[in-house]
Every structure is written in structure tokens, then in C-alpha cells.
Amino acid sequence: MDKIVIRGGRKLRGTVRISGSKNAALPIMAAALLGDGPSRIRNVPRVADIRTMSDILSSLGARVDFPKPHEVVIDPAGLSNPTAPYELVSKMRASICVLGPLLGAIGKARISLPGGCAIGSRPIDLHLKGLNQLGASMRLSHGFVIANGKRMRGADVFLGGRFGSSVLATANILMAAVKTPGVTRIEGAACEPEIVDLARFLQAMGARIGGVESHSLRVEGVRRLKGVDHTLIPDRIETGTYMIAAAITRGELFLKGARADHLRAVIEKLQEAGVWVEARAGGIRVNGAGARRVVEITTHPYPGFPTDIQAQMMTFMTVSPGISVITEKVFTERFMHVPELNRMAARISLEGSSAIIRGVRALSGAPVMASDLRASAALILAGLVARGETTVDRIYHIDRGYEDIEGKLKRVGAAIERIR
């Protein structure tokens, strides 16, 4: 099993090219099943989750090709198999987003309950509730969701959940609705940039969608959609991670291709913490040389502070003087990285859904183990500033969502190696 070894203490300087958004790519790849012809998707990141999704789509009968390193062409002509198998779906939670397109394309689906990162309970009840409101019959049997959408009709769907809007549930209902007869109104819809990108892709295919970028979507079903050419938005979570990498090492990075308008909450908190951040033509420049200040953060659905940047920001706070607080409101059990950071001499204590971080002068390099995708990134950030050597195990998590992270960091000055 691969490991990443980091020798801390170097300031990062230079340019990092931001990859396309993994979280936009996965539902858009699934949405390509709805077209009458092939769709070409550009700016696709080379990460493990993309390969998993391509394997799922191939198992359903679609043809998936990668003509260039960052392009995928999906031809749904052979789509006929409604079953997404356990051995593939168990690898990532986002696999559930093939449910809506299968119902829209062939009227039936049999999807294994999804897997993914171990960051707490993430039920799919909103997916099932929304599709049921459209008229799909749903049942669970032997670990599979079995759905029939032959009688689906436009309806009013409410997707507000206990912890706010659900991104994947919104994607599933939207993809099911675009070819469902009648008008569907989705209230409590997620409005993350990844959902907006999906809606733009569907609109280019011929879908009639109103209210994009809001919590209220109006969908008028159409009979046919066409294959299209689409370029993905940049990955805002990767962008946030490298912003914090510049800040924590007191370095300076230009993040090429990044979009500041997708990260207002993160930029605001970094600036509050004393980090210089400036949106420029073609990207974002970050300088971490300034004096640091304590901050309080609460995660929320977009446009709030993203839960997917919580762990990375916590690492930054461990070496910021004073006492900072993070409250997790999206996935309340998402603190599995805390014991590993404490192994590196961080001082973090948990009180319910909040983490209290007492800043220390320096972290200490140590062997640590990643529990999930974003925790992996947090531990690598910790290694960049820790005294001595840090070894991060279970890095298959990081390969799910970060393209060539060790290569990108090495090119801007980090002492980092992958040990195979």
C-alpha cells in the first residue's frame, strides 16, 4: 500500500494548476446517460473516483472512452442494464447519482446502497423521498435500492433535510425530472457550484430548467436530450486546500484556474485569520506571511463554509496562536482526523459537534493514518509544517479526489515523496 512521506518546514512558492471539479464531474458523467448521443466532458480530473464512475457506467452498458488525459466521452447507446453492482458502488457514495438518470433513461434502476468515506451517517432518504414524490416506486431489498419510474410525472418536491440541502439528492431529482412529463418544482434544492454546473450541462442537452443558482428549481420535462460538449468548473475544494497550504507554510501561491466566487466563505475566514488573498485574472493569489489571528468557523451548505474544507482549516488553526473553534453542522461526526493531528502534538479537544483548537508553536512529525479523503489532505498539510518527518498511510483516500497532490506540492517547494 502506498504512503506519502513529508519533511516539513519549507515555504511553498510558485503556481499550482487547479484541476477540474471531481464533485461536478461525477453527476455530469451520470447525466450523460440521458442523451441520445455521445457527450464529451473536458477538464476532467485524473482521480480514482472518476475511474470508478466510468466503470459503473460501463457496467450499465454505456461506452466510456478517455481520448485525452483530461477528457471523457460517454456514449449511452448501449445502455440497457439497470443494475449498478455492489463491488463498484461500495467504493464511493456519489455512485448513487446514477439512480436518477437510469429512471429518466430506461425507467428502472437497481442500485447497491452506496459506500465511500467513513465520516458519519449519510442516509439517502431524501433521494428516495424525492423520487417517490415524482411517482417512482421504491423499495429496499438485500442491500439494493430497486426503483421503477414508468409512472413518473412532474410534481412538487421538497428536499430540505435535517442538516440542510442535499447536493446529491438535488442532482438525482433534477436528472430524473428533466425527461419526466409535466412540470417539477424542487424546493430546498442545493445551489452549490457543482449543481449549477450540472444544470448548465443539462440545459445544453436541451433540458428546460429555471431557477438555476437558487434553492427553487423549476423543470419542464422534455422527451429527448442530445449529447453535448462541456467543460467542468475548477475544483473549489482542491483550491481551498492549496490556499491553506500557502497559508500554513507562510508561503505564496498562485492558484491557476481557481474561481474566487466559489469560495467566498473560505476566503473571508482566511483573511480574518490574517492571510492575504486576492482574486486575479485567471486565478487566486495567496500569501501566508502575515500575523495570524484566531477564528470561529461553522460549516454550512453552500454558500456557507464547506464541510469538505473543515479538516484542512483545522490543521491551519493548530499552528495559529490562541484558541479557535470549529462547529460541524453538516456531518457532525466528521472529526476522525482529530486523534491523528493530536499525535502530531496538536492540542484539539471535542465538545459535541465542536472542536476547540489551542494553537501550538509547532507540530511534530509522526506516522499517521488517513480516515477519509479530506482528512488525508489535512494530514499532508500538517506534515508540510511539522518538525521532522511525517508518514501518511492509507493514501488511497487522497487519490480518490486529488490529482497528483505530491507532484503539485513538490513543484512549489515541498519535500514530499510517494513510497510505493
d(CA 102, CA 111): 10
Instruction: Specify burial of residue 415 (Cβ count, 10 A radius: 0-12, 13-18, 19+).
Output: middle
Q: What is the DSSP letter of 136?
A: -
**Angle at 130 (CA atoms; ends 146, 25), nearest 5 degrees:** 80
Gap between the Cα atoms of 240 and 306, Å rounded: 10
Distances (CA, A) of 347 to 208, 329, 331, 364: 52, 22, 22, 12
What Cα–Cα distance (Å) separates residue 105 from each residue in 33, 150, 230? 7, 10, 20
Give the whole-angstrom CA distance, residue 35 versus residue 206. 9
Backbone angles phi, psi at 413, to 5 degrees: 115, -5
Indicate the helix (H) or strand (E) that contains 108: strand 108-112
Tell me how far apart the alpha carbons of residues 207 and 272 are, in angstroms, rounded to a whole number: 41
Q: Which residue has the cell 487522497?
A: 398
Q: Give the H/E segment covering residue 7.
A: strand 3-7
The reply to whether 117 belongs to the active site is: yes
- Joined together, the cell numbers standing for residue 232 give 467542468
Centroid of chain to Cα 248 = 22
**What CA–CA distances, in Å, run from 302 to 136, 141, 211, 260?**
29, 34, 16, 14
Which residues are CB-contacts of 323 (< 8 A; sequence separation ≥ 6)?
294, 356, 357, 358, 359
CB atoms within 10 A of CB 78: 11
Catalytic residue of the set 62, 72, 117, 370: 117
Residues that are catalytic: 117
